[in-house]
Chain A
Amino acid sequence: MDGRTPFAGTALQKAVFPNKLLPYLLLAPQVAITIVFFYWPASQALYQSMLKEDPFGLKSQFVGLRNFAQVLGDPDYLNSVKVTIVFSVSTAVLAMALALFLATAAEKVVRGKGFYRTMLIWPYAVAPAVAGLLWLFMFNPSMGTFAYLLRSAGYRWNPLLDGDQAMLLVVVAAAWKQISYNFLFFVAALQSVPRSLIEAAAIDGASSTKRFWTIVFPLIAPTTFFLLVVNTVYAFFDTFGIIDAVTGGGPAQATQTLVYKVYNDGFVNLDLGGSAAQSVILMAIVIALTAVQFRYVEKRVHYA
């Protein structure tokens, strides 16, 4: 069984309800929630994206796809796309790579395993904005401890002026928060790799590095794939708080991701139509991204 569909082999039972209404009643709460919290806002965004409001929000006018044309033609927007790609890829890769490294290290810990794991899981309980502030304080050019150390080591550290440094800071802060979550999943995945496989590979002459890449890594691929999807979505959507706290999208829009720009254009610059058009594009991007991930990446994943 290739296990692509979790229930392959177990034919799902078809429930038969005597009452015609009951099934709909049972489904209603779920459907209501989806409609209220997803379809309704999504359709509102779609509707808004075709309107243009005057600056006072008194009247609006239907403009068709003009908002989209404007957004896609805006160099600031294209910059934001680039920023988002750099930010998301770096955050996901960094968060996953570090978590995997820590999880493999945790496997080797003999004493105090539980303590070590607990300590590594804590950061997940920290709210994004708080995590951002934490890193901001540590690396604030004027009062941060680490900023001070960096500067005394002769490094010109100023994320308030240097876009690359600002990006580095938000990436590290965003990744730091996600490491715990990834760590938990990787620890569980590593534990599910049978020890005898690794022993067999050791007898088969594979070094520990080789064992990791040829046996362990392929076997935890389903988890890695799952985390890839989760981390990408996280980097896209859940990092607003961190960016807002650390850089506010600056300097000079160097850390302005798509989500941040939606907020900035909509709520700060009050361009609701443009902001809504951006939301719609964002939605399309995420749907496409997830589809691509499932279509291409998952094919290469082996489910034991």
Chain B
Amino acid sequence: MAKIELTDVRKVYPGNVEAVKGVSLSIPDGSFVVLVGPSGCGKSTLLRMVAGLESISSGTVEIGERVVNELEPAERDIAMVFQNYALYPHMSVRGNLQYGLKNRKMASDEIARRVDAAAKMLEIGPLLDRKPGQLSGGQRQRVAMGRALVREPAAFLFDEPLSNLDAKLRVQMRAEIRRLQRRLGTTSLYVTHDQLEAMTLADKLVVLNSGRIEQVGSPMDVYEKPASLFVATFIGSPAMNLLPVGEGGVPGVSASDHLLSPGGRPQILGVRPEHMRLVAETDATQPGDAIFELTVNGVEVVGAESFVYGGLPQGGPEVAVRVAGYSHLEPGTQVRAATSHDAFHRFDRESGRRIVVA
């Protein structure tokens, strides 16, 4: 049990590649923090610096109350689950689980107790005598988790542990990881590029973009109040609709002048597909609604819901509208979509930062 504290952490790889550009982050004791971001943004690098597998170019990493910059991975009291599981192929599952305990010269009855407890918790008891090569992907994943569990470390570090599993198993293991973490209360830092995984697992979500933190917050916070255009488009699927606001407002969108006036600086308006609705010609829209005149380009049916993609008369970015159930709209159909005023997000067009409306 320990908190993890990163202070202005940087990583410069040989060849002057700056992978992490000054990250400060505090991970409270027992919490589940997820680092999410696109490929190459420095997530793994950051995690590996915490693990001690990568040197820290500057800044400090604290685990518990100790600065661990100069400590070996083994001395940091952490356990890590790798993307490819990194199981020792020549050892049995039991051998894999107890390797770290034996290295620490733990008494053999304590080792047996912990291995059995972990095997029971993860339901891998019957596999203990097999080699990793004789396991399925999901079973390997469990063994990799088990190897981290038996150590009873101060913190778990996960680097995309589910990305090699099929979609169904991924959802199942995701729930299981969450349940285990809750039960054990071990501080966890979890890296993924899958925003759905990030949203469902995190107590605290950290969005990373090319080596910098874009936003830190609870998943709902990040979703509802994205701090920047980057976060707005990265979190949520399909992505938030973005509309550049010009001198004359947004062509094809009618709304009160207040909403569409640039207010001094060039802005971009954002609205999530689920905050839009299709309205019939005759429908009375709420006062203050913005109305979009769209020509349908295509429909994506997901099952319980469909997304209608349409273009505005003057061109510009495509707009997605969520509708419940199955949509039969043909491409070329003219439709009208409405969204309420308070569903809009405002971003500064130059800096990309969110504009907080007082």
Interface residues of A (CB under 8 A from B): 1-2, 194, 196-197, 199-206, 210, 214-215, 218-219, 302, 304
Contacts and interface: CB of A to CB of B under 8 A. Distances in A.
B85 to A, nearest CB: 8
B1 interface: no
B252 to A, nearest CB: 52
30 contacts: A1-B133, A194-B84, A196-B84, A197-B86, A197-B89, A199-B51, A199-B53, A199-B73, A199-B82, A200-B86, A202-B52, A202-B72, A202-B73, A202-B74, A203-B52, A203-B73, A203-B78, A203-B79, A204-B74, A204-B99, A204-B100, A204-B103, A205-B74, A205-B104, A206-B74, A214-B99, A219-B90, A302-B89, A302-B90, A304-B89
A285 B310 CA distance: 82
* Interface residues on chain B, size class: 20 to 34
Interface in B87-111: 88-90, 99-100, 103-104
A201 B53 CA distance: 11
Contacts of A202: 52-53, 72-74
A203 to B, nearest CB: 5
A6 to B, nearest CB: 15
B30 to A, nearest CB: 21
A1 to B, nearest CB: 7
Contacts of B147: 200, 204
A214 B89 CA distance: 11
Given A205-B103, A206-B103, A199 B86 contact: yes
Contacts of B99: 201, 204, 206, 214
B80 interface: yes
Contacts of B90: 218-219, 302, 304
Contacts of A196: 82, 84, 86
A205 B106 CA distance: 12
Contacts of B79: 203
Interface string B7-33: 000000000000000000000000000
Q: Which of B90, B99, B104 has the most CB of A within 10 A?
A: B90
Contacts of A302: 89-90
Interface string B143-186: 00001000100000000000000000000000000000000000
A201 B86 CA distance: 9
Contacts of B84: 194, 196
Nearest to A217: B90
Given A203-B51, A204-B103, 16 more contacts: A194-B86, A199-B86, A201-B99, A202-B53, A202-B73, A202-B74, A203-B78, A203-B79, A205-B74, A205-B100, A206-B74, A210-B103, A215-B88, A219-B90, A302-B90, A304-B133
B135 to A, nearest CB: 12
B89 A219 contact: yes
A199 B82 CA distance: 10
Given A196-B82, A219-B89, A203 B133 contact: no
Contacts of B151: 204
A203 B80 contact: yes
Nearest 5 interchain pairs by C-beta: A204-B100, A205-B103, A196-B86, A205-B74, A200-B86
Contacts of B51: 199, 203
Interface in B287-316: none
A21 B84 CA distance: 51
A197 B89 CA distance: 9
Contacts of B89: 197, 219, 302, 304
A302 B132 CA distance: 12
A42 B263 CA distance: 98
A304 B132 CA distance: 10
A202 B73 CA distance: 6
